């Protein structure tokens, strides 16, 4: 798949933000919650957001592989802007 210039620019900017925050690395199963603000009133597929965020976290070394996801929760924020990500090691049940 060819990445658009806008997507590459987002990867660079978002990657810099991830590295600035110095998140703990998770080497195994994890749970992720992604909350995103709608940028406008156009139809959006929330599921597409997860893949780009997971790929970003993998490329930054925060997660080993996005196939290690045990739980994925996606939701639209009621207010605010941007994307918030909560990532934690999965608990065993």
Q: What is the pTM of this model?
A: 0.86
- HSE-up (13 A, CA, CB side) for residue 10: 13
Taken in order of first residue, the domains within the chain and their CATH numbers are 5-89 (3.30.1330.70)
User: Distance (Å, rounded) from C-alpha 48 to C-alpha 72?
Assistant: 13
Tokens of 67: 């196939």
On whether the CB atoms of residues 59 and 18 are closer than 8 A, the answer is no
Task: For 45-70, write each residue's pLDDT tens digit.
Answer: 888 889 999 999 999 999 999 999 99
pLDDT tens track of the chain, all 93 residues?
A: 788 999 889 999 999 999 999 999 999 999 999 999 987 888 888 888 899 999 999 999 999 999 999 999 999 998 888 899 999 999 866
SS3 79: coil
In the prediction, which pLDDT does 93 show? 61
Task: Give residue for tokens 């909350």.
Answer: 35
Q: From CA 18, how far away is CA 75, in angstroms rounded?
A: 20
């Amino acid at each position: 798949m060819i990445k658009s210039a806008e997507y590459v620019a987002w990867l660079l900017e978002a990657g810099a933000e991830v590295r600035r925050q110095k998140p703990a690395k998770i080497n195994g199963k994890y749970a992720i919650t992604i909350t995103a603000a709608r940028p406008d009133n156009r139809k959006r597929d929330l599921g597409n957001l997860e893949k780009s965020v997971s790929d970003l976290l993998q490329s930054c070394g925060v997660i080993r592989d996005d196939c290690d996801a045990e739980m994925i929760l996606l939701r639209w924020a009621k207010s605010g802007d941007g994307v918030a990500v909560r990532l934690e090691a999965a608990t065993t049940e």
